[in-house]
């Protein structure tokens, strides 16, 4: 079979605490998104894509990731 086994696609829910200034910036970003695309998205729906874009554009992270094999997360 050409298609390999699909990766785990179970969503992982995380809770974070933000500084008020960052929360405000995220709301402003969502407003800018509406101005740009004429489509309202909730901040919580934008955040995963923002983080993914940030990580994919971080050259040092990519370089370090190639050098060091990823360790599995502990289930503590």
> 38 in the Ramachandran plot: left (φ > 0), alpha (ψ -120 to 50) or beta?
left
pLDDT of residue 3 exceeding 60, the answer is yes
Tens digit of pLDDT for each residue in 5-50?
888 999 999 999 999 999 999 999 999 999 999 999 999 999 999 9
For 45, the token pair is 């729906």
Q: What is the pTM of this model?
A: 0.71
Q: Mean of the pLDDT values across residues 45-74?
A: 82
Q: In the prediction, which pLDDT does 63 show?
A: 87
Q: In the prediction, which pLDDT does 53 show?
A: 94
| Residue pair 42/27 in contact by the 8 Å Cβ criterion | no
């Amino acid at each position: 079979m050409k298609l390999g086994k699909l990766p785990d696609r179970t969503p992982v829910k995380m809770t974070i605490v933000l500084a008020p200034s960052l929360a405000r910036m995220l709301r402003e970003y969502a407003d800018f998104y509406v101005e740009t695309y004429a489509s309202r998205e909730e901040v919580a729906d934008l955040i995963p894509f923002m983080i993914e874009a940030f990580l994919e554009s971080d050259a040092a992270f990519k370089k370090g990731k190639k050098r060091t094999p990823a360790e599995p997360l502990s289930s503590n």
